[in-house]
Amino acid sequence: MEILNFTKMQGTGNDFIVIEDLEGKYNDLGILAKKLCDRHYGIGADGILVVRKSSIADIQMIIMNADGSYASMCGNGIRCFAKYIYEKKYVLGENIKIETGDGVKIASICAYDGVFKGVTINMGKYNFNPISIPALSSVEIINKKLETNNKEYYITSLLMGVPHTIVFGKLDDYEVCEGKFIEHNCLFPQKTNVNFCEVVDKNMIKVKTWERGAGPTLACGTGSCAAVAAANRLGYTEGRVKVQVPGGILNIEIVEGEVLMEGPAEIAFKGEFLIS
């Protein structure tokens, strides 16, 4: 038996297990993630965040979904990760460079007298190029009709670190589990996250998400950013938008083509897990 120390964290209800692997001893993170994230036989989470050393940034974050699949980026996860790194004092200062599968992201910590109060993440640029998503389309997927699950959806797809597809309309018109039919549509060879989005006004939207590799979640940071980028592209919103997700509120701002995300990150509990 091996004892694994962990910290359980959540950002607007999107929950993660943070573990340290600074020596890179865990070879199969997919199997480990499935074991830890199981809500009946494990700790329970939407994914794990692994702390590793980086040669190009202050620290590296590896994300594995609950089903054992790899994720290059996670908005709620990186906020939790930044809080963890700051409070463990692995990086001194309030601007942390974090290596992710989607490049190096900057986490700007808001703190008073060394006490963490919040964090803003520069999520980088969004990309509507179907080759980048990837999606099997010769043109950008902007408000395009998609027939699946015996239903018509009008979708807008983009890359926001990971693939996202946005369906605009009234949230009451969609069950979040409908997202699985879009996730697995042949249009998306690497599958896609799906965000159902209701525009309240120019400065507020509501979003519920079906996450690729995790299913329904209380929040999705990259999905909220993608929804704002898509809403902005379609002229539904302005540059700064409040995003209401089932787990809380995120503040998203588009500045010169880059997306800034601000939101909460909290520790739920810490413990030990026995690995057989």
C-alpha R_g of the chain: 18
Please tell me whether 185 is known to bind a ligand. no
**Tokens matching residue 263:** 């939101």
Choosing from 74, 80, 197, 225, the catalytic residue is: 74
Is 74 known to be catalytic? yes
**Tokens matching residue 188:** 């998306």
Please tell me whether 120 is known to bind a ligand. no
Please tell me whether 232 is known to bind a ligand. no
- From the list 65, 59, 104, 106, the residue with the least C-alpha distance to 84 is 59
- From the list 226, 223, 231, the residue with the least C-alpha distance to 205 is 231
Please tell me whether 76 is known to bind a ligand. yes
Please tell me whether 222 is known to bind a ligand. yes
Please tell me whether 5 is known to bind a ligand. no
Please tell me whether 195 is known to bind a ligand. no
**CB-CB contact of 253 with 240 (8 Å):** yes
- From the list 264, 271, 274, the residue with the least C-alpha distance to 116 is 264
**Tokens matching residue 208:** 């519920």
Choosing from 37, 80, 197, 220, the catalytic residue is: 220
Please tell me whether 271 is known to bind a ligand. no
**CB-CB contact of 96 with 195 (8 Å):** no
Please tell me whether 52 is known to bind a ligand. no
Query: Binding site for substrate: residue ranges?
Result: 14, 65, 75-76, 193, 211-212, 221-222
Q: What residues are labeled active site?
A: 74, 220
